[in-house]
């Protein structure tokens, strides 16, 4: 377990240093090249789903296999070198500190009343269009992405790391990256990205629900409205197009007594999502800070729970 502790603590302290090439960027490049290659083999549109399944198998399988080989090779040289290498890979997989830093860039811009800069930094961490968002919508989008990524970027990777070390954690990140790149329901990816989207939904089924539970526990220790978080998770967890994202978003909305969801624009198309939570309090910049605290608190709770479950 020492390698997991090393990776977890390094992530909390440093996040992703910009000067170190990130393996997720490499995975993204591999996805793009493999997609381009496989699309050349598609003869009929009805074959797209099958080649999309093959894409998922190639990317997730090769990521897992390569990570296993790296860890095995390092441990064959020296067991402590193996711990260091695997700890470093875990450090690269987790994203709590990075989520904090990137979200605070949006917050800092808002605190300077620089709406243009806030939109720019927000565009780096969300998929929706940000060019016309006002301050309230920017805050909502930031809180939503912090809540969602508390599951995708922190709790879910931790869950798979504790089960199968860096190889399984990296395989999860490959699947998650696949979904973010090809898992769209537009004309281009409705079939080709079907397998990636479904596989990501499957992998996040348990972690998303655990994240909501950890957020409720974390909210209790932060003196936020954990009782309302329980209520909103029960009531609104289905108010999302994803079968999983509604859980962490509803826990955050309930704990902070705010309303999330509503109309967003993706690739020029307006998409309405049902609202999550009650507008007891109006959205304020401080809610970004509070959602970051909930993310960290749920991370600590999750780490301790997994440690005693799998350690």
Report whether pLDDT(18) > 80: no
* Nearest-angstrom CA–CA distance, 143 and 99: 11
Report whether pLDDT(157) > 60: yes
Mean pLDDT of the chain: 93
Q: What pLDDT, on a 0 to 100 scale, did the predictor assign at position 110?
A: 97
Whole-model pTM: value is: 0.94
Tokens 């992703």 sit at which residue? 16
What φ, ψ does residue 249 adopt, rounded to 5°? Answer: -70, -40
Report whether pLDDT(119) > 60: yes
Task: Please report which residue ranges of 151-193 form alpha helices under DSSP H.
Answer: 156-182
Q: What pLDDT, on a 0 to 100 scale, did the predictor assign at position 265?
A: 60
- Highest mean pLDDT out of 121-135, 255-269, 292-306: 292-306
pLDDT over 90, % of the chain: 82
Q: For residue range 184-212, what is the model confidence (pLDDT) as tens digits?
A: 888 888 999 999 999 999 999 999 999 99
CB-CB contact of 213 with 259 (8 Å):
no
């Amino acid at each position: 377990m020492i390698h997991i502790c090393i990776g977890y603590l390094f992530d909390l302290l440093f996040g992703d240093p910009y000067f170190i090439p990130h393996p997720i960027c490499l995975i993204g490049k591999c996805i793009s090249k493999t997609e381009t290659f496989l699309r050349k083999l598609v003869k009929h549109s009805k074959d797209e789903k099958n080649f999309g399944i093959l894409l998922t198998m190639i990317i997730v399988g090769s990521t897992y296999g390569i990570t296993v080989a790296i860890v095995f090779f390092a441990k064959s040289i020296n067991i402590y070198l193996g711990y260091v290498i695997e700890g470093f890979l875990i450090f690269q997989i987790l994203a709590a500190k990075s989520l904090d830093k990137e979200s605070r860039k949006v917050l800092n811009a808002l605190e300077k009343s620089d709406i243009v800069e806030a939109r720019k930094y927000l565009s780096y961490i969300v998929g929706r269009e940000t060019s016309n968002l006002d301050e309230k919508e920017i805050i909502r989008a930031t809180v939503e992405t912090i809540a969602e990524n508390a599951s995708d970027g922190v709790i879910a990777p931790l869950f798979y790391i504790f089960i199968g070390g860096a190889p399984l954690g990296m395989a999860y990140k490959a699947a998650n990256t696949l979904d973010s790149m090809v898992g769209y329901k537009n004309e281009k990816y409705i079939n080709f990205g079907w397998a990636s989207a479904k596989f990501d939904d499957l992998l996040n089924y348990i972690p998303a629900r655990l994240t909501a539970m950890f957020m409720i526990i974390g909210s209790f220790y932060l003196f936020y409205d954990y009782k309302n978080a329980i209520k909103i998770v029960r009531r609104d967890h289905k108010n999302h197009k994803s079968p999983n994202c509604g859980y962490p978003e509803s826990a955050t909305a309930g704990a902070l007594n705010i309303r999330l969801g509503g109309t967003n624009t993706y690739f020029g198309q307006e998409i309405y999502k049902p609202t999550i939570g009650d507008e007891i309090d109006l959205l304020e910049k401080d809610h970004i800070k509070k959602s970051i605290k909930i993310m960290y608190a749920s991370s600590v709770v999750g780490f301790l729970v997994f440690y005693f479950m799998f350690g």
